[in-house]
Structure 1
Amino acid sequence: MQLTAVGLNHQTAPLSIREKLAFTADGLPNAVSALVDGQNVQEAVILSTCNRTEVYGVGDAENIIKWLADYHKLNIEEIRPYLYTLDSNDAVRHAFRVACGLDSMVLGEPQILGQIKDAVRVAQEQHTIDTWLNALFQKTFSVAKEVRTGTAVGENSVSMAAASVKMAEQIFPSIADLNVLFIGAGEMIELVATYFAAKNPRLIGVANRTLPRAQELCEKLGVNAEPHLLSELPDILYEYDVIVSSTASQLPIVGKGMVERALKQRQNMPVFMLDLAVPRDIEAEVSQLNDAYLYSVDDIANIVQSGQQARKKAALEAETMVEQKVSEFAEWQRSRQSVPLIRALRDEGERARRYVLENAMKQLAKGAPPEEVLERLSVQLTNKLLHSPTRTLNKAGAKSSELVEAVAQIYALEQPKQNK
């Protein structure tokens, strides 16, 4: 058994690489199932967010790397420089740190824990998680809860949603005077939209693949909001001063040409565009246009670092707690490694018991006195159970002090003192 984690994140890979290895929510079940069905690993959980793609598995890291490249139709050497591979305790430690928000762009941010739980739920539904990963992630959730309640690592953190508003306010003096368009209606967009809605913008638009979901989000926001289909974007884009996008599309939804036409209709009034999607929803070339201020998820980094120093002190305490929990999990792993041996030992004892019991029953059936049968049974059972350890000790003699000490410990024996 080998616990393994393979992945890349905002610290090891630029957005242009991360988006190539991202998994959509719709495609994740088939992906994790294919990983295990292909016998690349025995168990697997795939975590894919805007800042990271990670595969936790029981198996060989190289098999996972090859599968990642093949699945995304990439050259393995194209992605290898950006990947980290972690085994055993390092993989456990990484899982704990990620869940606690210690490895996040926003130190201590809570959203990642929910994303991990979603990834585990998908793996459970696809039956790609068993003894080892189930134990790892149950412990991971427990550790994250202890760290978040026992330290201040998550306090005063600036979420990406709050940072989105701050970025817009750097370009426009008042959100209340703006029309804001959200492309997509998923969890991230809902979080960001809630922050913008609190600023009472003049108008909010929600464009989504399905109209009912867009309508539902508009109703939740409780402000002047109107739903749209994605197909309406070319006709309505010019109406909005702020555009925030986060969908699960594998291809850009907003192209350079579309934005160019919108800017002409706006008579070159500036537009703030924030692309939180991985892969990106808005073509990178849009940033070349005058009056189009395009930012990606990586550009938020400087803003979300505010309050970082205060949280770093708490993070030291959290790291200490994580190390303690890693040791506890390692001890559990070691105890599990001996389970097959314990089972084999008990099976051997059961075979010996049945053998002497059958002999005793035969003797009783022939009319032998019960006292003699019981005496013979006890002698036979003792000889059978002690035969292997006695023979092994005789063969080893005094050469193997470790074996002698082990047997003495197993049977709680006091070793005789050596004559000097």
Structure 2
Amino acid sequence: MQLLTIGINHHTAPVALRERVAFPLDQLKPALDAFQGLWQSRSSLAAPEAAILSTCNRTELYCATDDRAARESALQWLSSYHGLSVDELAPHVYALPQSEAVRHAFRVASGLDSMVLGETQILGQMKNAVRSASEAGALGTYLNQLFQRTFAVAKEVRGNTAVGAQSVSMAAAAVRLAQRIFDKISSQRVLFIGAGEMIELCATHFAAQEPRELVIANRTIERGAKLAERVGGHAMPLSDLPARMHEFDIIVSCTASTLPIIGLGAVERAIKARRRRPIFMVDLAVPRDIEPEVAELQDVFLYTVDDLGAIVREGNASRQAAVAQAEAIIETRVQSFMQWLDTRSVVPVIRHMHTQADALRRVELERAMKMLSRGDDPAAVLEALSQSLTNKLIHGPTHALNRASSNERATLVELLGGFYGHAKRSDSSEH
């Protein structure tokens, strides 16, 4: 069985490409169905085990398959599913086989491959990906074992290192950027669009600056109101956004929409109504919530998740000692998993040996029962049974020794000696 991880992330692709290959959470199950269906239509091999991890920073497909051409097939499927050409996507894709795939999964879950070093949100996102794969029936023995060990490694890293200590979060970075535009956030009106985990983090950070007004806009007003209550603000329906956008100095958006919810025209009208007072906008969504052309407008300061990443990386250098400690833990756990994977490769052989031996046993037992039923001496029957069964069980090893070359025979003698107890070799022995 071969493990493979194929994907793109913030290291290899800009947000403009990442948003085109993102999978909303409700699309994971049908996407996995389509991916496995591809194998069933093209190959006699069993459908691969698969899971999809899709966040604002990465889209990754984890596979376990016997198909040696899995890399090419997975790349073609990912490109086709999102309406991209292979040539357009391939330069940004990484394909990690076997131990590299294991190491990558461990690093991702531990926050070592995140834009925010040591951040914890990715672990929950990975657990959601595994849950979706399980519900789709795409999670088999190998990936299930991989992800269970992945979660255990992430817990060990977070519990035994300081990787996540004093991390500079995306939310904190947004506040820092806003402070570069406005002298005092306490004088500004702040709007948050969405009510998910990232918006809650950002709202909490901005609330600490005691802004003049803090508003949560969400499609579901009840959910927005609950978040607003927790951060000391109030809520409004998302449908009110076009009419009220001009009221806000700072706008932070992160929804699950597959299309932009803030267009160029709406922002132009807001700027005109504000009489050219600047708007600071942060788009943390992938796919993006704000049309990228908005960044070209005067008096608009638009930042994406990638822009905030540059600020976040400034605080990463001080935690390199903790990173080295985490990498050491991960490397040890990778070796342990690969040993487990190696033992799994002999399971079919062991199962076949048991099946063959049991078939021989049944044949000899049936013969002995017939002998007993016709009145043969029980002692003679047992002797015949034991001799016949012994001869059949050692026939395979004996045949292999007789047919082996000199070099092969030496290896076989050593192996069989371990099975049956070492016997003294004689140079004159016949084979």
- Whether the TM-score (by the shorter chain) exceeds 0.5 is yes
Equivalent in the alignment of 2:364? 356
Equivalent in the alignment of 1:167? 177
The runs of 5 or more residues in structure 1 that have no matched partner are none
**Displacement over 4 Å in runs of 4+:** none
Q: What code does the residue aligned with 1:403 have?
A: L
Q: What code does the residue aligned with 1:276 have?
A: L
Deviations 1:383-419 (A, max 9, x none): 1111111111112163412222222223342453658
Deviations 1:357-392 (A, max 9, x none): 111111111111211111111111111111111111
Equivalent in the alignment of 1:402? 411
Equivalent in the alignment of 1:36? 36
Pick aligned residue for 1:334 from 334, 339, 342: 342
Equivalent in the alignment of 1:199? 209
The runs of 5 or more residues in structure 2 that have no matched partner are 41-46
Distance in 1 (CA, whole Å) between partners of 2:312 and 2:59 is: 21
Distance in 2 (CA, whole Å) between partners of 1:415 and 1:84 is: 54
User: How many percent of aligned residue pairs carry the same amino acid?
Assistant: 51
Residue pairs, 1:219-368, within 5 angstroms: 219-221=229-231, 223=232, 225-368=233-376
Equivalent in the alignment of 2:60? 54
User: Which shifted more, 326-335 or 262-271?
Assistant: 262-271
Query: Retained in 2: the 8 A contact 1:245–1:281?
Result: yes
Distance in 1 (CA, whole Å) between partners of 2:403 and 2:83 is: 58
Deviations 1:100-147 (A, max 9, x none): 111111222111111111111111111111111101111111111111
Equivalent in the alignment of 1:5? 5
Equivalent in the alignment of 1:125? 135
TM-score, normalised to structure 2, is: 0.93
Q: What code does the residue aligned with 2:56 have?
A: C
Deviations 1:257-280 (A, max 9, x none): 111111121121111100001111
Distance in 1 (CA, whole Å) between partners of 2:225 and 2:165 is: 34
TM-score, normalised to structure 1, is: 0.95
Q: What code does the residue aligned with 1:318 have?
A: A
Deviations 1:328-372 (A, max 9, x none): 111101100000000111111111111111111111111112111
User: Which shifted more, 47-56 or 257-266?
Assistant: 257-266
Matched, 1:374 2:382: yes
Query: Retained in 2: the 8 A contact 1:108–1:311?
Result: no
| Aligned alpha-carbon RMSD (Å) | 1.6
Pick aligned residue for 1:86 from 88, 96, 113: 96
Equivalent in the alignment of 1:19? 19
Displacement of 1:308 in angstroms is 1.3
Deviations 1:292-311 (A, max 9, x none): 11100011123212431221
Deviations 1:83-108 (A, max 9, x none): 00111111111111111111111222
Pick aligned residue for 1:75 from 72, 77, 85: 85
Displacement of 1:35 in angstroms is 1.3
Query: Retained in 2: the 8 A contact 1:61–1:85?
Result: yes
The size of the alignment, in residue pairs, is 417
Distance in 2 (CA, whole Å) between partners of 1:250 and 1:200 is: 32
